Amino acid sequence: MEVNPVIEVKGLNFSYNGAEKVLDNVSFELHKGEILGVLGPNGAGKTTLLKTLLGILKGTGMVRILGRNVASVSPKSLAKIIGYVPQEHHIVFPYKVIDYVIMGRAPHHGMFSVPSRKDYDKAYRVLDDLGLGSLADKTITEISGGQFQLVLIARTLVQEAKILLMDEPVSHLDISNAVKTMNLIRKLVEEKRILGAIVTLHDPLMASLYCDKILLLNKGRVEIYGSPREALIPDKLSQVYGVNFNIIRYNNKYILVPII
């Protein structure tokens, strides 16, 4: 039986070492075919939220992934369900792109097994699908930041994850690579290669262009959750960001832009 919502969160709380709550009674759902954009200023709790969904951090409340409590899912099994692209990912060793992407197959192997020919064939196909085939034999240290962002996504696809979590995937990219990355996430969802995606973003404009639902966090609490039309309220965002906004309707989308 197909599970929907694919992620369900109710009354989630988290604090570091008993200090002030970083997440305070957070509730939302990710449904099949959706991109959920998580907005909020620095320190709002966006990265912490993703880490609780991954089971890296243990909060209180309910987090269900494909109908199962995340606390009951082993890390290896969870890695087959969720692909995670962190905000910062520093590579020191000059891996070849193909070898780095093939690491995404790790959840499907035992501790001492090595990648098979089928694993490499899958990795090459994914790179080709993403237009990265020409980079396969280059080292990670040779490619651009935008290309590396796409390579990270390729690794999650080789992982065969059903849900994609991305932490600020476009914050360090130029506009061309930012649009390319967000277009790719949209394509993956529309082609049903993944069930859905949660993407943390700094830019309300990018969220208004690409996201089906918006979750606005402020000091760990949910200020607004809903469709872009419901969530992108200029007065509410002005309170959170300290900047005035205006709404422009374009191609049936509600585009949020700052007033300067």
**Chain segment 150-160, per-residue pLDDT in tens:** 888 888 888 88
Per-residue pLDDT band for 26 (boundaries 50, 70, 90) equals: very high
Per-residue pLDDT band for 91 (boundaries 50, 70, 90) equals: low
- Please compute the mean of the pLDDT values over residues 113-135 and round it to a whole number: 87
Supply the pLDDT for residue 111. Answer: 61
3-state secondary structure string across the chain: CCCCCCEEEEEEEEECCCCCEEEEEEEEEECCCCEEEEECCCCCCHHHHHHHHCCCCCCEEEEEECCEEHHHCCHHHHHCCEEEECCCCCCCCCCEHHHHHHHHHHHHCCCCCCCCHHHHHHHHHHHHHCCCHHHCCCEHHHCCHHHHHHHHHHHHHHCCCCEEEEECCCCCCCHHHHHHHHHHHHHHHHCCCCCEEEEECCCHHHHHHHCCEEEEEECCEEEEEECHHHHCCHHHHHHHHCCCEEEEEECCEEEEEECC
Q: Which residue did the predictor score with more confidence, 123 or 252?
A: 123
Per-residue pLDDT band for 112 (boundaries 50, 70, 90) equals: low
- Please compute the mean of the pLDDT values over residues 213-233 and round it to a whole number: 92
- Return the minimum-mean-pLDDT range out of 26-30, 35-39, 197-201, 247-251: 247-251
Per-residue pLDDT band for 37 (boundaries 50, 70, 90) equals: very high
CA 6, CA 22: separation in Å to the nearest integer?
24
Q: Which CATH superfamily is domain 1-81+162-260 in?
A: P-loop containing nucleotide triphosphate hydrolases (3.40.50.300)
What are 132's two structure tokens? Answer: 């990265």
Supply the pLDDT for residue 166. Answer: 93
Residues of the chain with CATH 3.40.50.300: 1-81+162-260
Supply the pLDDT for residue 204. Answer: 86
Count Cβ atoms below 10 Å from residue 225 Cβ, excluding itself: 18
CA of residue 33 relative to chain centroid, distance: 14
What are 189's two structure tokens? Answer: 């969802």
Q: How many CA atoms lie within 13 A of 133 on its CB side?
A: 8
CA 184, CA 83: separation in Å to the nearest integer?
15
Q: Which residue did the predictor score with more confidence, 235 or 38?
A: 38
- Using the predicted structure, report yes or no on whether residue 185 has a pLDDT greater than 70: yes
